[in-house]
Amino acid sequence: MGTVEVPVLIVGGGGCGLSASNFLSDHGVGHLLVERHPDTSEIPKAHYLNQRTMEIFRQHGLDGEVVGQGAPVEMFGKVRWLTSLGGEGAVDGRVVYEMDGFGGGSLRDRYAAAGPILPYRLPQHRLEPVLRRHAEKRNPGRVLFGHELVAFSDEGDRVVAEIREAGTGRITTVAARYLIAADGGRTVGAALGVEMRYLPGGLAGSQQVTTAFFTADMSAVWHEGAHITHFLNPYDPHLSCNLIEMGPRWGKECEEWVLHFPPNAPVQSDEESVVAKIRDVLGLPDLDLTLRHVTRWTVEAVLADRYRDGRVLLAGDAAHRHIPTVGLGLNGGIQDVHNLAWKLAAVLDGAAPDGLLDTYEAERRPVGRSNVEWAGSVASHHQSILNAVGLGPRVPAERRGPMFAAHFDPSPLGAARRARAAEIFRTHRGASEAHDMELGFAYEEGAVVPDGAPPPRREPLRDVYRPTTRPGHRLPHVWIGDDGRRLSTHDLAGAATGFVLLAGPDGAAWCEAAARVAERYSVTIRAVRIGDGAEFADTGGGWAAVRETTGEGAVLVRPDNHVAWRSIGGSEDPAGVLGHAVSRVLGVDARPMA
């Protein structure tokens, strides 16, 4: 068989790789995806799709099935700490604390104002089939499961790879302009000598976690509406676990569950031992359950020393692996390839040189580092919560029960203990209300034109997102009107429309300049005005409140809805100024606009 030639080869068919396939298809980029497993994941793994990820799915028409199958924030918008679900002891079956999180409850209005869609929960074993169906429909015959990368080499002008079909052993040679490694770091990065470096919060592979995936009917005892339920056991620290709903229905109708044991907990791998432990944690000795899978995995907080090596680009777990607190792992991987897709399209279309792909690492690696470090800091804070209720590691075994029981004492002293503990519990918003981690990250260097403005103030616990049009930041979402239709500002840019220039009501000169610049640089720039008398109505004045420009100013937005450049006001030479900005974003020489 001759060599198969494709513009892009994607190695890995998990959530990151399948997302990359969908995004590249929408940008018109030919590609081949190979995945060594015969099918998508059978294990739930990641389950929280944060607001930024849901925006991206919405932009690419992937949100419908996620919303249809997933749980809305009303079904998972709380975080709870319980003693158990059953039992007859003095502290059994008690709610220790609960708080709103992830856009639910009191947070809903704030999250709804920030984006066109809210977060959703859909475990990875249900998400990946959705992504695969769409990928196969958009790129028929080029999404190949049961096909393994066995060798590859970067030839300078292309990557040549050998792909083995599992069923037949047949080897096919694939030549691609670029390779996206979305393989979890199993093959490509290691072959290139990419080093995964431990960061603050990393545990250097020293801690192992056991996860149990099981089926059970707990409708009679379940406290529905929680994103995660933490169990605090006063007698055995190895039974202080957390439990998460995994669908396919939600709340009291949930059938599938994942229980995480604490790091290095002494859990035997045989089914009888694991089932007994689950019953002990839940306080339900007679619970009828079916153990589906037991996974042992290493807690890591690592970042690749580079995201690009020649014509190979690393994404997702191949580039960063997180402690799962805050849910930044899969979400970060999906956002990696969203950043990458439009850049590959621009390079392969000839609108930008290969150097534009260097901005992928410049932009995403700092975000990866921030996410890894934040997840580690939040995970370490769990110890503070245990200390607050008398279950810290230095508490002698014989004192754990009495100290924990004191937390529920009805006396004034007990009330004081609970009030102090509540102060500590509220700091958990750095994990469960980390809205600014989801939306507030920015690209300080890369395919952006900084304007010297300082970034908005960030709260220490990252629980408040502040919208801004400062270059490098995500475009603020605002609802705008178009002949009776309601659109998000996010709907104006994307794979189908390319860049968008958002001008104020008096910014017609910028719109005229955009047409000239688009032709001169062979890119698509949709130019619109928002405001009174403009093409789009500023419904409720939302855009004027966040645009940070005058009515004569303009904001240039990339296809991934990050701001590339802005002008606070008008210009005597709008075409020259905008053309220079576009040349800097694309990494090409500025061209005279005469």
Domains of the chain in sequence order:
4-68+123-200+302-374 (3.50.50.60), 379-437 (no CATH), 440-594 (3.40.30.120)
Which tokens hold the place of 60? 């690419």
Question: Average model confidence (pLDDT) for the chain?
Answer: 95
Contacts of 73 (CB under 8 A, 6+ apart): 102, 103, 104, 108, 111, 118, 119, 120
Q: How far are the Cα atoms of 54, 549, 589, 590 from residue 584, in angstroms, in the given order? A: 30, 21, 8, 8
Q: At what angle do helices 329-348 and 15-26 cross, to 10 degrees?
A: 30
Sheet with 78-82: strands ordered across: 95-100, 78-82, 226-231, 242-245, 256-260, 208-216, 289-298
- 177: helix, coil or strand? strand
pLDDT at 206 (0 to 100): 61
- 253: helix, coil or strand? helix
Q: What are phi and psi of 447, to 5 degrees?
A: -85, 55
pTM of the predicted structure, to 2 decimals: 0.97
Residue type, 48: Y
pLDDT at 25 (0 to 100): 98
Rounded distance, CA 349 to CA 464, Å? 39
The residue among 353, 325, 103, 20 whose CA lies nearest residue 203 is 325
- Per DSSP (E only), the strands in 21-94 are 31-35, 48-49, 78-82
Rounded distance, CA 431 to CA 157, Å? 44
Which tokens hold the place of 414? 């007990």
According to DSSP, the residues that pair with 575 across neighbouring strands are none
**Count of positions (residues) in the chain:** 594
Residue type, 261: F
What number of other Cβ atoms are within 10 A of residue 445's Cβ? 11
**CB distance 435 to 111 below 8 Å:** yes
Q: What are phi and psi of 229, to 5 degrees?
A: -115, 120
pLDDT at 208 (0 to 100): 86
Contacts of 432 (CB under 8 A, 6+ apart): 79, 99, 100, 101, 102, 227
Burial per residue of 229-241, b for 16 or more beta-carbon CB atoms within 10 angstroms, e otherwise: bbbbbbeebebbb
For residue 248, cis peptide bond before it (omega within 30 degrees of 0): yes
Rounded distance, CA 329 to CA 321, Å? 7
Angle at the Cα of 247 (from 245 to 251), degrees rounded to 5?
60
Angle at the Cα of 437 (from 132 to 121), degrees rounded to 5?
40
Q: What are phi and psi of 558, to 5 degrees?
A: -75, 165
Contacts of 31 (CB under 8 A, 6+ apart): 6, 7, 8, 9, 10, 21, 24, 25, 139, 142, 176
Rounded distance, CA 8 to CA 175, Å? 9
Burial per residue of 313-336, b for 16 or more beta-carbon CB atoms within 10 angstroms, e otherwise: bbbbbbbbbbbbbbbbbbbbbbbb
What number of other Cβ atoms are within 10 A of residue 362's Cβ? 16
**CB distance 304 to 318 below 8 Å:** yes
Rounded distance, CA 66 to CA 58, Å? 10
**CB distance 305 to 372 below 8 Å:** no
Which tokens hold the place of 167? 């069923």
**CB distance 418 to 410 below 8 Å:** no
pLDDT at 497 (0 to 100): 87
Task: Kindly compute the dihedral angle of the four CA atoms of residues 553, 115, 318, 35, in this order, to the nearest 10 degrees.
Answer: -120
Sign of the Cα pseudo-torsion (110, 338, 228, 380, in order): negative
Residues in the chain where the model's pLDDT stays below 50: none
pLDDT at 458 (0 to 100): 96
pLDDT at 483 (0 to 100): 83
pLDDT at 379 (0 to 100): 87
CA 210 distance to own-chain centroid: 23
Residue type, 142: R
Q: What are phi and psi of 33, to 5 degrees?
A: -110, 135
**CB distance 119 to 50 below 8 Å:** yes
Burial class (CB in 10 A: 0-12, 13-18, 19+), 262: middle
